[in-house]
């Protein structure tokens, strides 16, 4: 298996633009997690899905953030409109059971 796949790997955009991050989990995994990592706050859970259904989105910072999982092999995290404080590395992870497997992350810079 190729592991968790994320795209794009890097994204530079201007404030106010829409940003869409994509994730393909490991085949067969039934949980999918979106995290944000910054130096100041470490790794923060934004939202997670079980069998494509959002379970807990309490970590989503505000209404500008939304996430979807239309099927078992694809998820998106959208930021609209983006702001400079959204600059961070966004990770997707999937799991079947206890251990989570992380993707390589998307490094987002909002100017």
Q: Which residues bind other proteins (CB under 8 A)?
A: 4, 30-31, 33, 41-43, 45, 48, 50, 56, 91, 93, 95, 97-105, 107
- Closer to other proteins by Cβ: residue 56 or 83: 56
- Closer to other proteins by Cβ: residue 70 or 97: 97
Q: SS3 for 70?
A: strand
CB of 17 to other proteins, least distance (A): 24
- Closer to other proteins by Cβ: residue 54 or 81: 54
67 membership: H or E segment, kind and range: strand 65-71
Q: Which residues pair with 37 in a beta bridge?
A: 43, 89
Contacts of 40 (CB under 8 A, 6+ apart): none
CB of 78 to other proteins, least distance (A): 21
Locate tokens 């890097």: which residue?
10
CB of 79 to other proteins, least distance (A): 20
Q: Which residues pair with 109 in a beta bridge?
A: 12
């Amino acid at each position: 298996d190729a592991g968790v796949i994320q795209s794009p790997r890097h994204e530079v955009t201007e404030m106010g633009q829409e940003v869409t991050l994509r994730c393909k989990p490991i085949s067969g995994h039934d949980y999918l997690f979106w995290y944000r990592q910054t130096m100041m706050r470490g790794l923060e859970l934004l939202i997670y899905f079980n069998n494509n259904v959002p379970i807990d989105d309490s970590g989503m910072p505000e209404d500008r953030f939304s996430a979807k999982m239309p099927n078992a092999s694809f998820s998106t995290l959208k930021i609209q409109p983006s702001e400079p404080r959204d600059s961070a590395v966004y990770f997707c992870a999937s799991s079947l059971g206890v251990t989570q497997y992380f993707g390589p992350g998307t490094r987002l810079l909002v100017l």
